[in-house]
Amino acid sequence: MGLEINTLAIIPIMAQQHHPRAIEATTKYFLTQATAAAMILFASTTNAWLMGEWEIHQLSHPLATTTVMLALALKLGLAPVHFWLPEVLQGLELTTGLILSTWQKLAPFALMIQVTPTINSPLLVAIGLLSTLVGGWGGLNQTQLRKILAYSSIAHLGWMVLILQFAPSLTLLSLSLYIIMTSSAFLTLKTNNALTINTLATSWTKSPTLAALAALVLLSLGGLPPLSGFMPKWLILQELTKQGLPLSATLAAMTALLSLYFYLRLCYALTLTIYPNTLTATAPWRLNFTMITLPL
């Protein structure tokens, strides 16, 4: 019921623009969330039918645990059931996209943390690795900032799911930092009124301070060492190695490089590109010229 109220409450917020893209995004979101809720209901009924237990902590049948995990992955937008997330986020304005990327993740994550002890371990690792790979690979060829942030969300959630069964406290640390960094990214983009990489390149003329802040936030999302986004990735890799999963840790680190590439691309566009500009208002040096009159 809580999940359903959560879904139904955000739908009017998503559709408030009355734009065809917004309505399409709202419809896609509603259908995926309703499907996931139906799968959770089916899994709990199956577990009650086969094992006689209704509690979410006591999911003991493999069919029920796998179905619940896939349903929660669908709610969160984890690979391989991630296809709705970039499309939905692209159809929304930045403030609604911020709510969808942060607040809407909390309820399914709370359920996933409760269900984790009963779930098959290789399934969680596989979903986590696939999400980090899809999140890195999918963002490479994008020019729309909202789609890039959607793939970034998939990759970060993949890291969280990867470590969930071994150290839930690390998952919560990752989630907290992800929410802070994603909120900063969405709000700086909204202040700059930037939706594509091209418009991002002009933001230095509006406010250099905001451009520098946005670059720091993006580098932190990418996980570069001096910044806070590096800490959870480092701790997760350390914990995976301690648990005897060096191959998974190596693969996760390699997929992080894919994400880092498109964050660096955004930072390059933001700070190192002088956008071709013909407006005198945004280029003060154009105003200082003297008229030269030639004799006829």
pLDDT digit string, tens, across residues 243-276: 988 999 999 999 999 999 999 999 888 887 765 5
Q: Does any domain span residue 271?
A: yes
Helix (H) or strand (E) holding 162: helix 145-163
Query: CA separation (Å) from 199 to 8, 92, 98, 187, 270?
Result: 33, 17, 19, 15, 9
Q: Does any domain span residue 287?
A: no
Token output for 239: 């914990």
> Which range has the worst mean pLDDT, 141-145, 154-158, 203-207, 291-295?
291-295
**Residue 225: pLDDT over 80:** yes
Q: Give one word for 119, left, alpha or beta, with left for phi > 0 and alpha for psi -120 to 50.
A: beta
Q: Within 10 Å of residue 247's Cβ, how many Cβ atoms? A: 11
* Residue pair 75/3 in contact by the 8 Å Cβ criterion: yes
φ/ψ of residue 18, rounded to 5: 55, 35
Q: Does any domain span residue 81?
A: yes
CA nearest to 166, candidates 119, 134, 130: 119
Query: CA separation (Å) from 101 to 5, 96, 167, 201?
Result: 17, 9, 23, 24
Q: Does any domain span residue 140?
A: yes
> What mean pLDDT comes out for the span 100-113?
92
The confidence score (pLDDT) of residue 279 equals: 54
Q: Does any domain span residue 181?
A: yes
The confidence score (pLDDT) of residue 58 equals: 78
The confidence score (pLDDT) of residue 282 equals: 53
* Residue pair 181/104 in contact by the 8 Å Cβ criterion: no
> What mean pLDDT comes out for the span 199-211?
80
Q: Within 10 Å of residue 128's Cβ, how many Cβ atoms? A: 26
Residue 137's domain comprises 1-279
Q: Does any domain span residue 87?
A: yes
The confidence score (pLDDT) of residue 103 equals: 93
Q: Does any domain span residue 290?
A: no
Domain count, the chain: 1
* Residue pair 78/40 in contact by the 8 Å Cβ criterion: no
The confidence score (pLDDT) of residue 286 equals: 47
The confidence score (pLDDT) of residue 61 equals: 86
The whole-angstrom separation of Cα 240 and Cα 248 is 7
Q: Does any domain span residue 245?
A: yes
**Residue 5: pLDDT over 50:** yes
Query: CA separation (Å) from 56 to 64, 89, 95, 169, 234?
Result: 10, 30, 33, 20, 32
Q: Give one word for 289, left, alpha or beta, with left for phi > 0 and alpha for psi -120 to 50.
A: beta
The confidence score (pLDDT) of residue 231 equals: 94
**Residue 285: pLDDT over 50:** no
Angle (CA) 121-126-128 rounded to 5° is 100
Q: Within 10 Å of residue 140's Cβ, how many Cβ atoms? A: 13
